Amino acid sequence: MKRTAFYLSDGTGITAETLGHSMLSQFGDIEFVQVTLPFVQSDQQTREAVERINRAHQEDGVKPVVFSTLVNNEHREILHSCKGMVLDLFGAFLNPLEEELGVRSNHKINQSHAIRDADSYRIRINAVHFALDNDDGARTRHYDQADIILIGVSRSGKTPTSLYLALQFGLFAANYPLTEDDFDDLRLPKALQEHKTKLFGLTINAERLSAIRSERKSNSKYASLRQCDMELRALEAMYNKHNIPYLDATELSIEEISTRVLAMKGLKRRLQ
Amino acid sequence: MKRTAFYLSDGTGITAETLGHSMLSQFGDIEFVQVTLPFVQSDQQTREAVERINRAHQEDGVKPVVFSTLVNNEHREILHSCKGMVLDLFGAFLNPLEEELGVRSNHKINQSHAIRDADSYRIRINAVHFALDNDDGARTRHYDQADIILIGVSRSGKTPTSLYLALQFGLFAANYPLTEDDFDDLRLPKALQEHKTKLFGLTINAERLSAIRSERKSNSKYASLRQCDMELRALEAMYNKHNIPYLDATELSIEEISTRVLAMKGLKRRLQ
């Protein structure tokens, strides 16, 4: 049985999607066709959304689930006339919040991701460019500016994690790849030695690493299970020898790795 | 008056934060001290969270606002004993959803960002590496694999947007910088000509661009208002001449730019 989930928003839809994914992941067995309807900002657009929801209801034979972050009262009223099951975020929480805070909210649409100040935009752009310029050990001379330096073997998730830390938290995250050459005597590469307090290690399950590397270079020594296993054993020995905090990223998403790194290193985010 | 907002989660806290930011942005005048408490996964940790909330209550003299995505019933019960105002996401929506879907949810903690399958992890990593390899016009020979090619002048937001499209939607996003040389005759650079349908332009307000560039190279011709203005006029003429869809990114966040690009180009995301 097919069931449709709608994410409805006057803005990007990201809040509605995030909430929806979170709720629906609690019902692992049901498969949802997911539809995001962003930038719904007028009566007319809301009525069109209602029509799409009603069409899905007719086609599926069951009620669509609708996660909505619409703020405008008239639009919310129109939405509630649909044949889906509406989970209305602002409907549920905004009134109680207004009462507690003792003020009326502005009920302005599309507030949530608007840039509140040019500062935070710049922090973010600068963080992203820092991550790029200091990706994969390309440069090491700016490590004094880094908030964190991720280390690990090739394709263990360093780059996406650095970028996520930059985009989400505005952190200056460098990353440095450890290779076979570094494992000979388990000494830290020179570029890392003087920044030891900033280091954070990633590791990963050997089978998983081998599968990821195979996508890039199949049937190579680089991707072989034997090579991956060898590198990872040496890597973890290195982390342990130098007391470098580290994390097994195998079962984790980029979001989870990033937030755990943040917590384990006690880093203060530069963006809220 | 200081008021504290808590984001409480058994996982990364990202859902609670996203929702919280969205709600609080409706109350622009109140300043919140924001505290994220992620990975709250036991009775003990929940009680510690309650203590922190109560401490903030005492210090602030007003109730903290608590956005919670705790799933476990016992933990939620402990949380509700706190002196904050609890906005309990799963409390509000999970029961009605269970009724509509006709199944009990698994109430498992920390589900939402867990990797559901290794596939989506790989799509994401591959997309991020594609964005990096094809950043800033570095290479153009893989444009046949691109879902989208962002174009614009230096520092107009192409790189962060490419990376966000990769991380959030798994899209293969390349980007290519247009420079003074390209504006002489308003002809599209050769590398772009055969991929015209994939092009999407960014533009930005000249004052804003000048400010961003000044951070990088202050008092340079590159950052001067005159230069920025000249480049942007030529750029928009170029977009218009070649019928390239484009967006003014000045007042938009990376999330907004990305989701608008997605909508305007009708791109299908590779990740839900």
* Structural domain includes residue B109: no
Indicate whether B49 belongs to any domain.
yes
B169 and B52 part of one domain: no
Interface test with B, best of A122, A253, A265, A269 (most B CBs within 10 A): A253
Instruction: Say whether B33 sits in a helix, a strand or coil.
Output: strand
Taking residues B69-90, report their average pLDDT: 95
In degrees rounded to 5, what are phi and psi of residue A65? -100, 130
Question: Closest by alpha carbon to B24, among B1, B49, B8, B5?
Answer: B5
In this structure, the answer to whether residues B233 and B200 fall within a common structural domain is yes
Looking at residue B115, what is its pLDDT? 45
* A111 occurs within a structural domain: no
Q: CB A160 to CB B124 under 8 A?
A: yes
Per-residue pLDDT at B185: 86
For residues B88 and B66, what is the distance between their CA atoms, to the nearest angstrom?
8
Judged by CB atoms closer than 8 Å, whether chains meet at A100 and B215 is answered as no
b/e per residue B237-253 (b: at least 16 CB within 10 A): ebbeeeebebbebbebb
Same domain, A48 and A133: no
Task: Give me the domain span that covers residue B88.
Answer: 3-101
Residue B212 to residue A14, Cβ atoms within 8 A = no
Last residue of a domain, one of B33, B66, B101: B101
Note the pLDDT of residue B111: 62
Distance between A142 CA and the closest CA of chain B, angstroms = 15
Q: Please, which residues 129-148 of chain B have a Cβ atom closer than 8 Å to chain A?
A: 129, 132, 135
Q: Are residues A207 and A249 in the same domain?
A: yes
In a domain, A107, yes or no: no
Q: How many domains does chain A have?
A: 2
Lowest mean pLDDT among A156-165, B95-104, B236-245: B95-104
Residue B20, domain CATH? 3.40.50
Q: Is residue B270 part of a domain?
A: no
Nearest CA in chain B to A260: B12
Cβ neighbours of A89 in B, within 8 Å: 19, 22-23
CB-based burial of residue A270 (10 Å sphere; 0-12 exposed, 13-18 middle, 19+ buried)? middle
CB contacts under 8 A, B 84-123 vs A, are 85, 87, 89-90, 92-94, 96-97, 100-101, 103, 105-108, 111-116, 118, 121-122
Give B228→chain A minimum CA distance, Å: 17
Find out whether A91 is annotated in a ligand binding site: no
Does A129 share its domain with A257? yes
Residue B111 belongs to a domain: no
Task: Among B28, B85, B168, select the one facing A106 at the smallest CB separation.
Answer: B28
Do A87 and A135 belong together in one domain?
no
Please indicate, yes or no, whether residues B131 and B253 belong to a single structural domain of this protein. Answer: yes
Give the CA distances from residue A100 to residues A223, B86, B92, in Å, rounded to whole numbers and listed in that order: 57, 11, 18
Q: CA distances (Å), A74 to each of A11, A96, A97, B19, in order? A: 16, 19, 19, 21
B236: nearest Cα among B157, B177, B183, B160:
B183
- The verdict on ipTM greater than 0.85 is no
Question: Which one has a higher pLDDT value, B23 or B148?
Answer: B148
Given A38, A70, A101, the domain boundary residue is A101
Among A70, A101, A132, the domain-final residue is A101
Q: Are B46 and B122 found together in one domain?
A: no
> Are A134 and A15 found together in one domain?
no
Which chain A residues contact residue B3 at CB under 8 A? 101
The predicted pLDDT at position B122 comes to: 83
Instruction: Check whether residue B94 and residue B127 sit in a common domain.
Output: no
Residue A244: inside a domain: yes
Q: How confident is the model at residue B20 (pLDDT cuts 50, 70, 90)?
A: very high
| Share above pLDDT 70 across residues of chain B, in percent, rounded to a whole number | 96
On whether both B185 and B61 belong to a single domain, the answer is no
pLDDT band at B83 (very low <50, low <70, confident <90, very high): very high
pLDDT tens by residue, chain A, 272 residues = 789 999 999 999 988 998 998 889 888 778 899 999 999 999 999 999 999 999 999 999 999 999 999 999 999 999 999 999 999 998 999 888 999 998 888 777 666 554 456 678 888 889 999 999 999 998 999 999 999 999 999 988 999 999 999 999 999 999 999 998 899 888 999 999 999 999 999 999 999 999 989 988 899 999 999 999 999 999 999 999 999 999 999 988 898 999 999 999 999 988 87
Inter-chain residue contact B103 with A30, CB threshold 8 Å: yes
Model confidence at B82: pLDDT above 50: yes
What are the pLDDT digits (tens) for B110-166?
A: 665 544 566 788 888 899 999 999 999 989 999 999 999 999 999 889 999 999 999
Distance CA B126, CA A64 (A): 33
Please report the pLDDT score of residue A115 as a whole number: 45
Helix/strand/coil for B1: coil
Q: Tell me, what's the pLDDT at B128?
A: 93
Q: Is residue B110 part of a domain?
A: no
Q: Is A32 helix (H, G, I), strand (E, B) or coil?
A: strand
Is A241 in the same domain as A156? Answer: yes
